[in-house]
Structure 1
Amino acid sequence: MKEQGTGSELLYQLDDKPPFLEAVFAALQHVLASFVGIITPTLIIGGVLGLGEHIPYLISMALIVSGVGTFIQARRPWGIGSGMVCVQGTSFAFLSSVLAAGFIAKGKGGGPEEILSLIVGVCFLGAFVEIVLSQFIGKLRRIVTPLVTGIVITIIGASLIKVGVTDLAGGFKAPDFGSGANLALGGFVLVTIIMLNRSSNAWLRLSSIIIGLIAGCVVAAFMGKLSFGNLAALPAISIPVPFKYGFSFDWSAFLPIALIYLITAIESTGDLTANCLISKRPIKGDEYIGRIKGGVFADGLNSMLAAAFNTFPNTTFSQNNGVIQLTGVASRYVGYFIAGILVILGLLPIIGGVLQMIPKPVLGGATLIMFGTVAAAGIKILASEPLGRRSMLIMAVAFGTGLGVALNPEVLSQMPKVVQNIFGSAITTGGLSAIILSLILPEEDASQTASVESVAKSEIADAIDPIKT
C-alpha cells in the first residue's frame, strides 16, 4: 500500500480508483470512525423508550440505511448527492426530539410499535423540509446564522448530557442506580477514552470511543454485568420491511423535528464544505454549489429512507473528513466499499443483539463525552462569532428559555397538552427564540460595537487598576 498522506497531499484524488485492497483498508477505517456514532443513538432511544426486543432490528436497519445513504452520496445518481466520500449515519441532533415524540406516543398508552409508528411518521414527513431547503441553501444561511446554529447545537448537547449521566449511573429506574460499581465502571470508560484521545497516535485517537466501549465491556464481564444469553433467539438475517411498525402523525411531535431538519441542513453544508476542501475541490462557483445542494438533498432523502425502513434521521458525519485527511484517500469509489461493509453488517442481527447487551454504565461513560462534545462544538461556533450586545441578548434569551423548560418542565403544566409537547422541547423553545430574535432585532453597527467593546475594556481596566495598587 502507498505511504499514508499527511493531509496536505492526496494519494488518490476524488475520481481515482484505488486498488481493491487499498480501497477496502481505507473503507474499514471510515467504518471504524463512524460505527459507534451510527449505532449509539438507536441504543439510547431503544433503552429510554423501552423498545426491548426491537433494538437489534433497529440497529440492523440503521447500518443498512447508512450504507445505502453513503452509496447515494458517493455515486450521485441524477445529481442527488455530493459525489464525495460522505459517510451517512444516525444523527445525534435529533435525539431529544425523537425521544420527545416517543414519550408523546407513550403518554397516550402506546407500546413499542405505536411509539415507532409515530417516530417514523414525523421523521419521514420532516425529511421533506430538508429536501426543499436544499434548493435554497444560500438564502437559508441568512436566516439560520452561525449564531443560531451555535445556540441550537449547544442546547442539544446540554440537554442530552442528562441522558449520558443517567446511563452512567445504571440507567433509568435501575435497581442499582448510582451504585459505586456503576459509577466506577462508567468512570473507567470515561478515563480510558480521555487517555486514548490524548494519545500521539492518530489511530488510537480515532478509535478511542470504540476501544473504550470494548474495554468497558471486558471489565463489565468480570463484574458479572454482561450476558449474551438472548442471542440464540435472533434470526440469521435482518430483512428490511418498509414501515414495519406502521405510520402515524402528530403535529406536536413533528414541529421540533422539523426545526432540527432546518438546523441539520446548515450543519451538513459546513461538513460538505470541509469535505470539498480536504478533497481538493472548489469551495466557490457552480461545482461547489452543485455539490452542496446535491449533498443536502441526499441528506434529506437518506433520512426519508431511514424513516421508511424503521430507523432514525441520517446526516453527514464530520469525523470521516478527518479519515480522508489522515489516509490521503479522497476517492469517492471508497464510498462504495464503505456502503457495502455497512450493509453486510446490517444484515446480521447478531451484531445488534451483541450491541444491545452493552451495560448502561459502559454506554453512559462513552455518551457523556459524545454529548459534551456536541455542546462544546456549539460553544466553538459561538466563540467564532463577534459577540456584541445583540448577540449576547439573543444567546441569553435562547439559553434561558430553552434550558429553562428542560430543567423545569412543570413551568408549562397549566398549558394545553399540545403546547406542552411542542415547547417542552428545549431545542424547539431555544431554537425558535434564537431565530425570531435574530430576525426582528436590528443588526449592530460595526463601529458602534467596536466602541462599546473599547469602553468595556476601559471600564474593566479602571476597575482592576485600584486593586493592583
Structure 2
Amino acid sequence: MASNRPGSHLRYEPNEPCSPLLALLVGVQGTLIGLPITVMVVVIVGVAGGQSEGYVAWTMFGSLIILAAVTALQASRIWRFGAGHTFISVISPTFIAVSILALEAGGPTLLVSLLLVSAVCYLAVPTWLPLLRRIITPAVSGTVLMLISVSILPVTLDVIGEAPEGTSPAAGLYVVAATLVVSTLLTMRAPGRWRAWSLVIGIGCGCAIAAPFGFYELESLYAASWVGFPGLEFPGLDLTPPAEFWAMAPMFAIVALVFAVKGIGDAVAVQQASRRQPRATDFRMLQGTLYANGISMFASALIGILPPTFFSSMTVSVVTLTGVASRYVGYAMAVILLALALSPKLASLFLLIPGPVLGAVLLIAIGIFFVQGIQSVMQDGIDVSKTFIVGLSFATGAAMEFQNVFEGLIPSPWDLLLGNGVTMGGLMAVGLTAFMELSRSRPRRLTTRLEFSELPRIDTFLQDVAGRMGWNEASTDRLRSAGEEAISSLLQPDNEFAETESQGNPPRLMVSARPDGRAVDLEFISVLEEENLGDRLSYLEEEPQVVDEREVSFRLLRHYASTVRHQKYHGMDIIMVRVES
C-alpha cells in the first residue's frame, strides 16, 4: 500500500544526497524546461520597451547570474533564507506588461525604482504569513495551481504548432508526437534508473526528428564565442522619483502581492511533491522560500533585471518524472546557469532546441501540475463551502483566459491585470475564503503560560465554552480531554518547551475556541517545537508499537479530536484541533 501513496516513487528526498552525475543529469532537464521562458521574457520586455540590443544582452547576462544565485540559495537553508529544496527558477512573466510601460515612460532608471517597490511589498508577505494562514488555505493554493495550468495551455499549443517555412504544417506535430511517446513510455514503464533519463531521451528523439524538417539555424551558434561578457548597461537609481513613479508604484505593488500569493501555492506544491509520505506543510520552509526570492528581487532590481520566480509546474514535473527531489540538483542547476551566463556558445546551443520539443515537455508538466492542484484542494477535505469557493473561482479564472471582459472598460494595464485568469481566480478564492472566515462567530480567547500548573485554568475555560454551547457531559469531557492532550503533547520532557519551562521562563500560550455549528475549533499558539505534530499524527499507523509517553498523548489527541493540524513559522507554533459534539 505504501507504494501507492503520493511521492512513494521518490528515490531521493531534498536532504538525501544523490550522485553528482545524477544531479547534473536532472539539473540539465530542469534548465532545459526553464530557460526558454527566461529568454522569452527578456527579449519581449527589451524589444517592446524600445531598448537597445546592448541592453537586452546585459539583461540576459544578469538574469542568468541572478537565477544561478537564487537557485543555489533555495537549495540551501541559511538562517531564514532558502527552502532546502530544488526549484526551477525563471524570470517572471508576471511583470512583462508593467515593465514595458515603465520602460516606455521613464526608461531603465524608472524601472529600477519601481522594481524596488515591488521587492518591499513582496517581502511583506512572508513577514505577515502567520496572519494570512486562514486565508491562504490548501483550497486557495490548489485553485491557483489549476488556473496556472489552464493559463499556460494556449502558449503551449502555439509553440507546438510551430513549423519552419517551406515544410509541412504538420512537422511540429510529428516532433511533438515523437517527444511525447518516448518520454511517456520511459516514464511509465522504464526502471528507476532509466526514468531519470526519460525527459532527456524524449527531448533527444524530438530534436532528431526535427532535423530533417529544417528546424535548426546554426549561424548564431557558429558566431557565438565560448567565453564572453556583455557591455555594462547599469541603469542606476533615481533618488528623486518623477511623477511617473508615483503614478505607477501602486500598480507594481499590487502585481508584487499577487506574485507573492502565487509563490505560496507554488512552494506548497513543490514541498508536497518532494516527500515520499504526505506530511503537514512546513510553513517555515514556505517563509524561507519567499524570503530568498524577495532578496533576489532586491538584487535583480538594483541592476535593472526583472524579478526571478519559480514555477512549481516545472519543478513538480521533473521531480515526478525522475524521482529525484534532492537539493543537490538545485546546486547543479545553479552551476549550469552560471556556465550559460559566462558562455554565449552554450547558451546558443540550448536555444537551438525546437519549439515543438519544448511544447511537448510543457504539456507533460501542465498535466502533472493540474493533478497537484486537485490534490491540494482535497488535502483538508471538501465540503459545500469549499466546493463553491473552488468551483466559482476556477470557473471565473478559466473564463478570463478565454475572454477578458475588462478590456475596453477600464484603463490599461489594469484591464490586463484584472483580466488575467490566474489573478482574478486567485483573488476571488482569497476573497471568498476571507468572507467565510470573517462571517464566522467570534472566538473566545485565553492568554496564559505553557506549563502544567495552568491546566486547571485551561480546563475551566473549555468547560465554560462547552456550557455556553449547551453540550452534554460526554461532549464536554471530550473537549476537555482534547485540550489537555494538546497541551500535554507540547509539554513532554524531551522537547523545547520543557527545557524553556525548566529555566523559569515558560512560553506564552494563547488558546482560542471558535464555535462552528455543533463543533468547536480550538487553537493553541505558542513557540516553535522542532518536530511537526501533524507529521507525527500522519505516521502513527506506521511507527512500531513502542510504549512512549508522547506516543500515547498523540494517539489520545487524535482519538478525542476529529481533525488536528499543525503549522510552524519562525517564532510561532500553532496547533488547531476540531472537536465534534
TM-score where L is the length of structure 1: 0.71
Post-superposition Cα deviations, 1:424-450, rounded to whole Å, max 9, x if no partner, equal 2112211111111111134695779xx
Q: Gapped runs of 5+ residues in structure 1? A: 1-5, 449-469
Q: What pairs with 1:262-277 in structure 2 (closer than 5 Å)?
A: 262-268=261-267, 271-272=270-271
Q: Tell me if the contact between 1:104 and 1:253 (Cα under 8 Å) persists in the aligned partners.
A: no
RMSD over equivalenced CA pairs, Å: 4.5
Q: Tell me if the contact between 1:151 and 1:395 (Cα under 8 Å) persists in the aligned partners.
A: yes
In structure 2, do the counterparts of structure 1 residues 194 and 136 end up closer, same or farther at CA, with 3 Å as the change threshold? same
Please give the alpha-carbon distance, in whole angstroms, between the structure 2 residues aligned to 1:312 and 1:398.
Answer: 27
Please give the alpha-carbon distance, in whole angstroms, between the structure 2 residues aligned to 1:445 and 1:72.
Answer: 42
In structure 2, do the counterparts of structure 1 residues 232 and 304 end up closer, same or farther at CA, with 3 Å as the change threshold? farther
Residue 362 (structure 1) aligned with residue 354 (structure 2): no
Please give the alpha-carbon distance, in whole angstroms, between the structure 1 residues aligned to 2:174 and 2:10.
Answer: 44
Query: Which of 158, 161, 164 does residue 166 from structure 1 map onto?
Result: 158
Q: Tell me if the contact between 1:101 and 1:119 (Cα under 8 Å) persists in the aligned partners.
A: no
Post-superposition Cα deviations, 1:267-323, rounded to whole Å, max 9, x if no partner, equal 325645776x679xx989xxx776554343113223443455535423384568779
Post-superposition Cα deviations, 1:235-287, rounded to whole Å, max 9, x if no partner, equal 44354788757889744465344312123135325645776x679xx989xxx
Residue 350 (structure 1) aligned with residue 345 (structure 2): yes
Hey, what does 2:69 align to over in structure 1?
68
Max radius of gyration: which structure?
2
Higher relative contact order (CA 8 A, sep 6+): 1
Q: What pairs with 1:288-307 in structure 2 (closer than 5 Å)?
A: 292-307=286-301
Residue 213 (structure 1) aligned with residue 203 (structure 2): yes
CA offset at residue 333 of structure 1?
Answer: 7.7
SS at match of 1:142: coil
SS at match of 1:143: coil
Hey, what does 1:382 align to over in structure 2?
377
Q: Tell me if the contact between 1:100 and 1:253 (Cα under 8 Å) persists in the aligned partners.
A: no
Q: What pairs with 1:80-229 in structure 2 (closer than 5 Å)?
A: 80-82=81-83, 84=84, 86-91=85-90, 94-95=92-93, 97-101=94-98, 125-170=117-162, 179-229=169-219
Query: Which of 31, 34, 46 does residue 30 from structure 2 map onto?
Result: 34
Q: What pairs with 1:278-297 in structure 2 (closer than 5 Å)?
A: 292-297=286-291
Please give the alpha-carbon distance, in whole angstroms, between the structure 1 residues aligned to 2:409 and 2:102.
Answer: 20
SS at match of 1:144: coil
Hey, what does 2:41 align to over in structure 1?
45
Shifted more, 153-162 versus 347-356: the winner is: 347-356
Shifted more, 122-131 versus 375-384: the winner is: 122-131
SS at match of 1:413: coil
SS at match of 1:417: coil
CA offset at residue 349 of structure 1?
Answer: 1.7
Please give the alpha-carbon distance, in whole angstroms, between the structure 2 residues aligned to 1:77 and 1:153.
Answer: 28
Please give the alpha-carbon distance, in whole angstroms, between the structure 2 residues aligned to 1:395 and 1:12.
Answer: 30
In structure 2, do the counterparts of structure 1 residues 44 and 119 end up closer, same or farther at CA, with 3 Å as the change threshold? farther
How many equivalent residue pairs? 419
Q: Tell me if the contact between 2:406 and 2:418 (Cα under 8 Å) persists in the aligned partners.
A: no
Shifted more, 350-359 versus 300-309: the winner is: 300-309
In structure 2, do the counterparts of structure 1 residues 372 and 337 end up closer, same or farther at CA, with 3 Å as the change threshold? closer
Please give the alpha-carbon distance, in whole angstroms, between the structure 2 residues aligned to 1:399 and 1:341.
Answer: 37
Q: Gapped runs of 5+ residues in structure 2? A: 1-6, 238-243, 441-514, 520-581
Structure with the largest fraction of helix: 1
In structure 2, do the counterparts of structure 1 residues 399 and 80 end up closer, same or farther at CA, with 3 Å as the change threshold? closer
Structure with the largest fraction of strand: 2
Shifted more, 427-436 versus 178-187: the winner is: 178-187
Hey, what does 1:456 align to over in structure 2?
none
Shifted more, 425-434 versus 347-356: the winner is: 347-356
Please give the alpha-carbon distance, in whole angstroms, between the structure 2 residues aligned to 1:8 and 1:422.
Answer: 39
CA offset at residue 347 of structure 1?
Answer: 1.5
Hey, what does 2:558 align to over in structure 1?
none
CA offset at residue 45 of structure 1?
Answer: 3.3
